[in-house]
Amino acid sequence: MNAPLREPSFRESVDLMFNRAVRLMDLSPGLEEKIRVCNSTYTVRFGVRLRGAIHTFTGYRSVHSEHMEPVKGGIRFAPSVDQDEVEALAALMTYKCSLVEVPFGGSKGGLRIDPREWNEHEMEQITRRFAYELAKRDLINPSQNVPAPDMGTGEREMAWIVDQYRRMNTTDINASACVTGKPLNAGGIAGRVEATGRGVQYALREFFRHPDDMKKAGLTGGIEGKRVVVQGLGNVGFHAAKFLSEEDGAKVVAVVERDGGVVNPAGLPIEYLKSHIAATGGVRDFAQGGFVDDGASLLEAECDILIPAAMESVINLGNADRIRAPLIIEAANGPITAGADDILRQKGIVIIPDMYANAGGVTVSYFEWVKNLSHIRFGRMQRRQEEAQQTLLVGELDRLLRETGTGLGLSEKFKQQYVHGAGELELVRSGLDDTMRTAYQSMREVWHGRKGVDDLRVAAYLVSIGRVAASYRSKGL
């Protein structure tokens, strides 16, 4: 009797996928090992006096690779946080930054806590103490280690962290760059909150520009009308679903949340659904869709595009053979285990991998870091000058058309759109779009042009590991 297959852990999945790629590369064993392992992991246990007693919390900050500095990666607040998870996420950050050509090494942080158990004031005390423990060891520093939001954290926590860093480093003129994902009024950048979801949209747009790639997934046409299932309507899932449905004409036919799932074959109104979740804590009783108790079963629903956008390992050996979506885009980190990945590939399902698909967050974090170091918002110097030049051109064209006596002229709508200069948000979106397009093209070139590469994940690893290896070689290692 055959023993049941064991599901690899998240960290093991990352290592297995890394190994699949390096088998196709000509790396020395020493260099391969240097790229694979985490350089260091710091574990901190600190106490905070809350509710009349001292509570001890455990946190981590892992640095996977310092082939480029600073290193970059989010801080996660969740009860499930452990060293293995943080190290796996740090490794993914190295490969992700390399793939999208953002000049950072990979890092990740986590605090083992359920934020729902504490009020805002208590969360601030806990976050500031965690930030203090990391910053005094240079694990938060504009030139060495730059955190960002992740699951369970957001702008609020980043504002507390940057303020704590400032209190400890009162003369650091670049203090704002010690963390990204900050609110706009604390040195943040326009478009950061939407960035990861926007990146998912741009990734899908680029995929659908290539008929050969669509053919591999058995899809035709464009995004418009495609049936989408989204698992997790947090920041990433919400923005991806919103942009794909409102701007690209996709139909989000199902959403999976903690308390179950909601279905509407005609398409769910994402803004209304998000408001309902905020008001009630879940998707139950949403008037514009049918409720499904077993939300996870909707991962197996018939659709064109499946977007897992919450936790890792939601598609695993237990459900992989029942997945029916021909195209999966990993908006979350590690939503597909290594074992499930094998099954899905054998079924001919195309997977747009996490290290590419959710790189919008770190890309715009890079823009924010550059903005903080330059001490000026994007567009401030050139926007009005561009508008003045374009107004001059439009005015001259209008004059020439009137003088011909044909009655022709430029429409007011065209003139307004043409004359409008790019502000920070437009420039951020433009930079993100360019990044996602360029990175996808580097992956597909390997996918279609290199022997033995039959999926985008291996292609992504080959591109990113190759760049990390080149960086180490150039250092003389």
Residue type, 165: Y
Q: How far apart are CA 165 and CA 471, in angstroms?
A: 30
Q: Helix, strand or coil for residue 338?
A: helix
Q: What is the DSSP string of 135-147?
A: HTTTSSBTTTEEE
Residue type, 293: D
Please say if 34 is a catalytic residue.
no
- Hey, how many other C-beta atoms are within 10 angstroms of the C-beta on 356? 28
Give CA 342 to chain center in angstroms.
23
At which residue do the structure tokens 């591999």 appear? 216
Separation in Å, CA 119 to CA 51, 216, 278: 11, 49, 17
Is residue 320 within 8 Å of residue 327, measured between CB atoms?
Answer: no
Q: How far apart are CA 179 and CA 192, in angstroms?
A: 13
Give CA 269 to chain center in angstroms.
23
| Burial track 361-393 (b if 16+ CB lie within 10 A, e otherwise) | bbbbbbbbbebbeeeebbbeeebeeeeeeeeee
- Hey, how many other C-beta atoms are within 10 angstroms of the C-beta on 443? 25
Q: How far apart are CA 458 and CA 182, in angstroms?
A: 33
Q: How far apart are CA 65 and CA 62, in angstroms?
A: 9
Give me the catalytic one of 72, 108, 242, 371: 108
User: What token pair was written down for 28?
Assistant: 């020395």
Q: How far apart are CA 244 and CA 259, in angstroms?
A: 24
List helix spans (H) across 375-423.
383-403, 412-419
- Hey, how many other C-beta atoms are within 10 angstroms of the C-beta on 244? 26
At which residue do the structure tokens 């965690």 appear? 130
Q: Helix, strand or coil for residue 67?
A: coil
Q: How far apart are CA 269 and CA 289, in angstroms?
A: 9
User: What token pair was written down for 428?
Assistant: 């951020």
Tell me the catalytic residues.
108
